[in-house]
Structure 1
Amino acid sequence: MFSVPVIGGDTVPDRKKLDLSGLSIGFGYVTRSFNNMKVVTGSYSRRFNSPLLTGEAITVLPRSGALEGLLDRSYDNGFVGKDATGSIGEVTWYWGYEDSSQIEGDSILFKDSSARSVDHQYSSFSDESSSMDSVWGSGPLLTFAYNFSQSDKFNYSAALNFSYVNFNNTWKFSNFSANRQTDISQSIVEDTYNLLGTIPPEAPHAGAFAEPGSLIEAIPSERSLSTQDYSSELFEFNNKIFKEFDFSLFTISPAVTTSFTIEDFIFDLGIGPSVNLIDWETNFSESLIELDDQGVSKEIAQWDDLSSGSSVVLGAFLQASASFNMNNSWTINVFARMDWADDFSANVGRSKMNFNLSGASAGFSTAYKF
């Protein structure tokens, strides 16, 4: 169509309208499969080497000290220490006791039950948990196509497809367990001191460091040792892992398409390369929980790992579709497509992930024809 407007008597050259016949623009929705998603998950708990888990090697020495030498010795029922003279002659007036039953003839007995020894029996089990699954991602689709041939039966066209699919997966599991039995034994020390003929002051008695008083031996003349069970505790440990994975795929697909028309139905077959733009993010969280034999639990360790990445993967595709002409301008379309591309893999915290980018997709769209 041509128009010749006249303004002020001047003639404007003819302008031809843009011819868009053969062009169509479509939009729709697509769902794509991602097969053989393999997730292998280790754990930080497995390598956690801490006394909080395996037990602390604690040995409590007796307050009564060693048998030999001039020392300040403490007992459950008294004390014997060096006096202001340094206990010259291995005798001292700096001592005390609590009960007259400690006196036996020319000797006095003291008891010390402060010593402890700890034994831990620890065992653990861990497993690199793995899972295999297939997931589906979905999202919008945009298509531009140009029909080069407009015969009654066969047509040829070029197309440019844009699609965006996304999926989000979460996992919760435990792959580490351990238990620890902690046995505590108590050592009983009984020391005997020679009174050297001294008549002890009435109990309870506590001598002064710098004030002379009744003298006794400053070093035990005899010591006996015994051991008895003090306590036993059982602890159980388990980890808890939470993992979230978010994956987005933006695909650009140029295609060459051939079409066959039967009345208002059109059947297409297209093929072409694809450019896959990948963006992913994952959150890995692990906690290690202790449960004692009283049923009380607490968290003894926590790890968090946030990872993300992006990449470009080339591929190819084959697509078949069927369309219905609602009128001269609008069509509705359903399609199935197969994509081929390299596998996706990523390391996420203590886990590894791998799945196929090759997979099938299906969807629908509506298109406007110029």
Structure 2
Amino acid sequence: MKSSLFRIPFSRLAPASLTLLAGALSSADAQLKLPPLEFEESEKAGYFFRFAGKALFNVRASVDQVAPTPQTPGNYDNGFVLPDIGGTASGLTWNWGFLSDDQIASDMLNFERYSNLPHGGAISGEKDDPLIGGELLFGVEFGRFDVGTREWAWGAEIGYGFNPFKISNRSMAAGTVDYLAASHALNGILPPVGPYSGTFEGPGPVIDLNPTSTTAISSAATSTFDGTLESSLHNFKFGFWVEAPVTQKFSVALSLGYSSILADSELSFRETFTFANPAIPQLADVDTSVTADGWRNGFYGQLRVNYEINQYLGAFVGGEFQYNNRFKFGGAGRNVTLDFTGIYSAVAGVSIDW
């Protein structure tokens, strides 16, 4: 009996897939005339832990600018002045709002709008360096079956892995910005303390629907983006394994099963705008972050080569393929996608059997 795994009585037949695989390998075994392997009897209970370092490859990410909302008359970056339920005939409206008391100057309410601002910071591609992390699995042997002259074992495993993801981007974009300044008369009313937002139905204080004065300026503009996308990838898996001896010390094993990734993510960035025309007021730098987390389901398959150091300790190396759904989130004018639809990984570690 193979010393690294203890025989547990198991009255059922192996799954159909294992039976088919066993038949094929039995034929190959007979043709090759492999000699039977002799193993010492084991006293172990058939359980094991696997501790591994794990390097992930081909995790891809993209960060894109949200498509701008089409600008309509009366909508501004710092408020709105729109027709109310009474229509436009009176030239007045109670359907208006503003953000800050700083917009009030004498009997005027001032608004601004920046259109067609250039935005840098588009990220698209995969992380060049591997994502270095680790994995811990617990497993149990369910039973054994003969394939030709060799005795195979099979069972189940459950585990947790962690890998950090981080990608940074610094870029510039250029374009032409359209700036609009508009002033609406308050007509002697005392406006509410900002921020304030009136409604279409009203009632409320009324101001001029149409601006008393407007200023429109177009200018060359540039933006500088400096951002980082970070994600802690927590990987949970459950599956079944089958192991075939090659020599008394070496064996190969295959694991297949369900996996789920929890992506705990944050996009943080700083964006600065510069205008060639000094008549356009300088915008404050955007310094913000967006966080999100979510589970993405999938599956995994891992192929390992095991080496038995002694009855209770072994070492292994292997490769894995994993497929999970994409994780998407957004905020602060950006859409973020983490793509897990084709992850490759390399593992190496030790196993403890008892």
Q: What TM-score bracket applies, with the shorter chain setting the length?
A: 0.5 to 0.7
How much does 1:253 deviate? 0.8
Deviation at 1:300, TM superposition (A): 4.4
* Structure 2 CA distance for partners of 1:20 and 1:170, relative to 1, 3 Å: same
- Over the matched positions of the two proteins, sequence identity in percent amounts to 14
Tell me what 1:356 maps to: 339
Partner Cα separation in structure 2 for residue 179 and residue 251 of structure 1: 45
The superposition leaves residues 44-103 of structure 1 with CA deviations (integer Å, 9 ceiling, x where unpaired) of 9xx9x89xxxxxxxxxxxxxxxxxxxxxxxxxxxxxxxxxxxxxxxxxxxxxxxxxxxxx
Task: Tell me what 2:140 maps to.
Answer: 146
What does residue 335 of structure 1 align with? 318
Q: Is the Cα–Cα contact under 8 Å of residues 340 and 357 in structure 1 kept in the other structure? A: yes
Distance 1:124 1:251, change over 3 A: closer
Q: For 2:237, which of 253, 261, 280 is the aligned residue?
A: 253
2:154 alignment partner in structure 1 = 156
3-state SS of paired residue (2:285) = strand
- 1:22 has 2:46 as partner: yes
Q: TM-score, normalised by structure 2?
A: 0.55
Distance 1:292 1:26, change over 3 A: same
Q: Distance in 1 between matches of 2:259 and 2:135?
A: 14
- The separation in 1 between residues aligned to 2:132 and 2:339, in whole angstroms, is 16
In the alignment, residue 329 of structure 1 is paired with which amino acid? Y
Equivalent residue pairs, number: 228
- Stretches of structure 1 that go unaligned for 5 or more consecutive residues are 1-18, 51-122, 181-234
Are 1:42 and 1:129, in contact at CA under 8 Å, matched by a contact in 2?
A: no
Aligned mates of 1:125, 1:304 — CA distance in 2: 16
Q: Which has the greater radius of gyration?
A: 1
1:287 aligns with 2:272: yes
Equivalence for 1:137: 131
CA contact (8 A) 2:118 2:221 kept: no
Please point out which of 36, 39, 42 is paired with 2:63: 39
By how many angstroms is 1:258 displaced?
0.7
How much does 1:138 deviate? 2.6
Contact between 1:124 and 1:176, CA under 8 Å: does it hold in 2? no
Hey, what does 1:320 align to over in structure 2? 303
Is the CA contact (8 Å cut-off) linking 2:256 and 2:301 kept in structure 1?
Answer: yes
Please, which of 253, 268, 282 is the counterpart of residue 253 of structure 2?
A: 268
CA 1:362–1:323: 2 relative to 1, 3 Å: same
Tell me what 1:171 maps to.
169
Q: How does 1:48-197 map to 2 (within 5 A)?
A: 126=118, 130-135=122-127, 136-149=130-143, 153-178=151-176
Looking at structure 2, the residues matched to 42 and 149 of structure 1 have their Cα atoms a distance apart, in angstroms, of 55
| 2:170 partner SS | strand
TM superposition shift of 1:171: 0.8
Secondary structure, aligned partner of 2:311: coil
Larger proportion of strand: 1
Q: Secondary structure of 2:143's partner?
A: coil
Shift of 1:169: 1.1
TM-score by length of 1: 0.53
One-letter identity of the residue aligned with 1:143: L
**Per-residue deviation, residues 196-248 of structure 1 (Å, max 9, x unmatched):** xxxxxxxxxxxxxxxxxxxxxxxxxxxxxxxxxxxxxxx86422111111111
